[in-house]
Structure 1
Amino acid sequence: MLEFAMLAVAAFAAGLVDAVVGGGGLIQIPVLFSAFSSTAPATLFGTSKLAGIFGTAAAAVNYSRRVRVAWSAAAPAAVTAFIFAFLGAVTVTKIPADFMRILLPFVLIAVAIYTFRKKDLGSVHAPLHTGTKERVMAIGVGALIGFYDGFFGPGTGSFLVFLFVRCFGFDFLGASAAAKVVNVACNLAALMWFGYSGHLLWQLGLMMAVCQVLGSLLGTKLALKHGSGFVRRIFLVVVTILIVKTGFDAWQRW
């Protein structure tokens, strides 16, 4: 019962953080691995995705009620991300992802430095592209992040927020809303693969899903109440934690 209580709290916290800037897996996955150390990693990842898709979907719905979701960019990115996330999940069963563990901390450091130095980044919603150019860029982002999510995964939501701000000119609030749509597509593709291969603990995942949704509702409320400045600050905190966590993992494997 203590382990289930820990997982419920972790899922709630993951849903809250994920709803704001992504990165909820940083909280949820380590607790899953600690509570079920003898369970196959793929099963724990699949269970985490099952809980996560509910929380992310709840956040996407809540954002769409209060923030104008840029569907012209979010929709093509989501469709492409779905396809490439599935391809990434299949690829990781054939090719080790060790090189990603070494590279990721450096990419995150670059993202953090750029965001910190650009004080006005994401403060104003001023889309940079329209029409065909926007769709092509969205497809590129969806392919890149979708494959990354299926192949490796840590920080997917945060990368999406950053790219929607940097490449499309969205503010952090609008970027977070669009990122949730793409994230749902990534999670759905991964879930299809994990479900097909039998790597799911359904009852545990659904229990955690309820907690994720509750956390997601609170996280969305906080983001909408406090605006893009709040989301930017949380983004920098989450990216910093990601740098420490992924750097430590890379150092251990090195």
Structure 2
Amino acid sequence: MTEPAPRILIVEDEPAIRHGLVELFRSQGYALEVAEDGHAALARLACAQFDLVLLDIMLPGVDGLGVLRQTRARGDLVPVLVLTARGAEADIVAGLDAGADDYVTKPFGIRELLARARGLLRRARPAPASPSFRVGDALVDLARLTITWPGGQLELTAREGLILDFLRARPGVGVTREELLTQVWGYHDGTVRTRTVDVHILQLRGKLRQLPGGDDWIGTVRGRGYRWDAR
């Protein structure tokens, strides 16, 4: 029995770009739905399940960040690939912090966009190796995507939970960005040009600073990548 084609929701207000995305992903055999603004996107996400969302940030009505925040607040962990013309790191970080899994900046190449989409589709519903673990007094709950400790709690994105789980399973071992791209993001080619790993780690470290000793959880291995240093 043939598996159904992955369902993708394309949220883009510019007709030319929207048409191009529809033609591109339809040619790859995906099932598509389209939303032209944030309100339409939220309506579709509320009544149907998708395997991936391609989401423009600059939208009329509710912008892309608003769509992301409301979607995640409902507990929907559908993978979201943000499309943005903004190249500033602060804007990219804002998208990831709102719950995006990855991003591409316009103008983007067709091969790069398809590679990012396939990677997220392969990791659409990842299951953590362990549902929870402790680091000192802190409890990391990968099912609820929270870290709690006496006197505090913080929330993780699904991608941040996967990063923590992957690094923790390799204590003291330097993990390259390429390994993270293939094993956590699901890309076939870990050499794809993207800073998404570094930006996600930056965001995750910022959250971990809220808890005692959190600065020591993720170390940097010069010239290689990152390492789990928590004890």
Q: Which structure exhibits the higher relative contact order, with contacts defined as CA atoms closer than 8 Å and separated by 6 or more residues?
A: 1
Quick check: which one's strand share is greater? 2
Question: Which protein is bigger by CA-based radius of gyration?
Answer: 2
Give me the TM-score of the superposition, normalised by structure 1: 0.28
